[in-house]
Copies of this chain bind each other. A is one copy, B any other.
Amino acid sequence: MQVPSPSMREAASMYGTAVAVFLVILVAALQGSGPPESPFPYRIPLDPEGTLELSWNVSYAHETVYFQLLVRELKAGVLFGMSDRGEMENADLAVLWTNGDRAYFADAWSDQKGQVHLDAQQDYQLLQAQRTPQGLSLLFRRPFSTCDPRDYLIEDGTVHLVYGILEQPFSSLEAINTSGLRTGLQRVQLLKPNISIPALPADVRTMEVRAPDVLIPGQETTYWCYMTELPPDFPRHHIVMYEPIVTVGNEALVHHMEVFQCAAGFQSFPHFSGPCDSKMKPERLNYCRHVLAAWALGAKAFYYPEEAGLAFGGAGSSRFLRLEVHYHNPRKIQGRRDSSGIRLYYTATLRRFDAGIMELGLVYTPVMAIPPQEAAFVLTGYCTDKCTQLALPPSGIHIFASQLHTHLTGRKVVTVLARDGRERAIVNRDDHYSPHFQEIRMLKKIVSVHPGDVLITSCTYNTEDRELATVGGFGILEEMCVNYVHYYPQTQLELCKSAVDAGFLRKYFHLVNSFNSEEVCTCPQASVPQQFASVPWNSFSRSVLQALYGFAPLDMHCNKSSAVRFQGEWDRQPLPKIVSQLQAPAPRCPASQGLSPAGPTVANISGGQG
């Protein structure tokens, strides 16, 4: 890259004329190697106007992210950084600013009031700044972990990027408060796995499964069911890729979509297009539960690994498909029409393995509930050793992708594999999970699950804005805790989930009654949601519910595709015992610690050509 020599005077005069173009900034303390030779494969606009565009690359060898921030129409500077959930307070920031005379670059942080402060340790390292025809291009890097307690730890999973635009000069870094700026956030998986996208086969064909001109109901939550079918005599194929088709203008309404294949036992299925909970919906549609494709808000195209594809068509499988579209319409917009769906890419040249999708986590039932006003309440669903013993082949299965799913209060999701009572591997973890960014993510490393293994899926919820308990269920204001894992070779096991035993929950309502003067309605005709709604939430009822979920036996759902359980006793199953937990690795501090500049670097501004 071009590194012109600095010329401060020229720049100062340029600033004086309000041209306000930062041309080339070179940090004196630049040390070590430059960016990797490859370009920046990932790119995302940060703000809705596209003023700020971020490209990045990841060096796993150096545990460092290289950022290239393109700033179009630069004014007096820019803030870029990361925070827990996209807030501008308590954020870890790289700041480029000018006092009208000189320009500076610094690693900074914002306190809980949004006030910006210099970091004691400078870990965002400016490598280069260059004028390009598009705008100022800033190149900088940041280690995953810095050991500076003010810094964000870059981990797998969702990262909430934040930005702010400085419209005029600031006398000092400490004079900046994020509350006065134009700011925003963008969610992204920063640490993309370095897996190359498999090439599509030459004979690839496509098929669209779309809702036929649906009038979206003017209600908050609608699950729309639409039945379609494969052409007659459609032979066995492998789906190798699929991507969403979202009707333009409805991007905020289409929450998630799934394509299910119906059970092979039935000769035909009635046609239907309507709400899934409609009384008009034919009963038989409940036998269409074999997932072919799943998409949710924020996801892009999904590619199968080169050795596997998702089988559909041919003898012994149903020609009938059910598309389910979850419309989330909180503003209850009336009269909107939609034809969203999924485009399947498939090949007749079958790959070595059939792939499958399995649902892990919690059953959709109100017995699993989160008290209101909880900052971080954890619910856990199990896939027990008994179920994997029965349903998995002796050589096991290989999970290659995962999609985490909760509704609005979900904040973290993790699935852990345990064997012989010991946690062995993380299947997928997102400590900054957002229900608004549900991607299907390829795993960095394939996780193999053997018969007798246990899969434990835990979701952390924040219900600080709720007044009543949030129960499990299908509604957007109810909750889910699901990990859709994508794996091969395919098995009959489609769903391996749990919930607390209902009898133990009844005991819970009784004991809450005996400890409180207020009565919980425990009469037989009261529904579980009604009973939860009448619990007086105090430290005792909260702690005991948490203790109950960590102790009471399970109602296991170890199900085949046709909503049929595997044979066996699945009620009152013991909770898996975990005797040793995985330890989070101690963050490695970068070797450069203490050698980076201790304060802001003067960014010498000079004229030059990009």
CA distance A586 to B149 in the complex (A): 10
Given contacts A510-B514, A594-B594, contact A547 B551 (CB under 8 A): no
B543 lies within 8 A of A539 (CB): no
Q: Which residues of B contact A550 (CB under 8 A)?
A: 539-540, 543
Of B504, B543, B594, the residue contacting A544 (CB under 8 A) is B543
Q: How far is the CB of A513 from chain B (nearest CB, A)?
A: 11
Chain A interface mostly:
helix
CA distance A539 to B586 in the complex (A): 28
A514 lies within 8 A of B515 (CB): no
Q: How far is the CB of A506 from chain B (nearest CB, A)?
A: 10
Q: A511 near B: Cβ within 8 Å?
A: yes
Q: A548 near B: Cβ within 8 Å?
A: yes
B548 lies within 8 A of A546 (CB): no
This chain's copy number in the assembly: 2
Q: Which residues of B contact A547 (CB under 8 A)?
A: 539-540, 542-544, 547
Q: A466 near B: Cβ within 8 Å?
A: no
Q: How far is the CB of A596 from chain B (nearest CB, A)?
A: 11
CA distance A323 to B252 in the complex (A): 79
| Chain A contacts with B in 533-567, Cβ cutoff 8 A | 538-540, 542-544, 546-548, 550-552
Q: A507 near B: Cβ within 8 Å?
A: yes
Q: Which residues of B contact A538 (CB under 8 A)?
A: 551
Of B510, B542, B548, B593, the residue contacting A540 (CB under 8 A) is B548
Given contacts A544-B544, A594-B594, contact A539 B551 (CB under 8 A): yes
Q: Which residues of B contact A552 (CB under 8 A)?
A: 515, 540
Q: How far is the CB of A403 from chain B (nearest CB, A)?
A: 31
CA distance A544 to B551 in the complex (A): 11
CA distance A420 to B149 in the complex (A): 32
Q: Which residues of B contact A542 (CB under 8 A)?
A: 547
Using CB atoms, name the residue of chain B closest to A515: B507
Q: Which residues of B contact A586 (CB under 8 A)?
A: 149
Q: How far is the CB of A75 from chain B (nearest CB, A)?
A: 35
CA distance A548 to B504 in the complex (A): 19
CA distance A551 to B538 in the complex (A): 8
Q: How far is the CB of A551 from chain B (nearest CB, A)?
A: 4
Q: Mark A500-538, 1 if CB is under 8 A from B, else 0.
A: 000010010011001100000000000000000000001
CA distance A542 to B594 in the complex (A): 46
Of B514, B543, B551, the residue contacting A511 (CB under 8 A) is B514
CA distance A254 to B163 in the complex (A): 67
A504 lies within 8 A of B511 (CB): no
Q: Which residues of B contact A546 (CB under 8 A)?
A: 543
CA distance A538 to B594 in the complex (A): 48
Interface centre among A547, A548, A552 (most CB of B within 10 A): A547
| Chain A contacts with B in 115-150, Cβ cutoff 8 A | 149
Q: How far is the CB of A548 from chain B (nearest CB, A)?
A: 7
Residue pairs across A and B with Cβ atoms less than 8 A apart, 16 shown, are A149-B586, A504-B515, A507-B514, A507-B515, A511-B515, A515-B552, A538-B551, A540-B547, A540-B550, A540-B551, A542-B547, A543-B546, A543-B551, A544-B547, A593-B594, A594-B594
Across the A-B interface, the 10 shortest Cβ-Cβ residue pairs: A543-B547, A540-B551, A594-B594, A511-B511, A539-B551, A540-B547, A539-B550, A544-B544, A544-B547, A507-B514
